[in-house]
Amino acid sequence: MTDERSWLALVTFERRTQDSDILPAWAHGACGWMIGIAPDLATACDRFARDLRYCGMSLLEVEDAREVFDPEDVQEVDDHLAENWREIEPGKQSVWGTLHGYKGEGEV
């Protein structure tokens, strides 16, 4: 892992473009738990936004944010996220777990 702190948050986002490899074609957006590796929560939120933009998404909302210390605590929220956090690649600053897509009205 890393020396920086780890921040868990429920993140909601939507497509900026039609192309996406993280959402099915029918989904306008999604929500799911993410972990940001950062010195503080504000920086973690900036990293969520940056990494989602990289995937063609726009960050809409960050909720229920808190610092986490142990994968077992994360596992209570999302098993997939806990596993991804345990195996986070060197240099990565965010990781996500199970995403729950939603249909919606909007511009894509």
Kindly state the helix (H) or strand (E) to which residue 75 belongs, with its residue range: helix 71-75
Q: What is the pLDDT of residue 2?
A: 47
pTM: 0.87
Q: For tokens 């993410």, what's the residue?
A: 34
For residues 14 and 50, give the distance between their C-alpha atoms in angstroms, rounded to a whole number: 13
Q: What is the pLDDT of residue 108?
A: 46
Q: For tokens 């868990």, what's the residue?
A: 8
Beta strands (DSSP E) in the chain are: 5-15, 29-38, 57-68, 94-102
For the chain of 108 residues, list the mean pLDDT of each consecutive stretch of 10.
Answer: 82 85 87 96 96 92 96 93 92 92 70
Handedness of CA 75, 99, 61, 36 (dihedral sign): positive
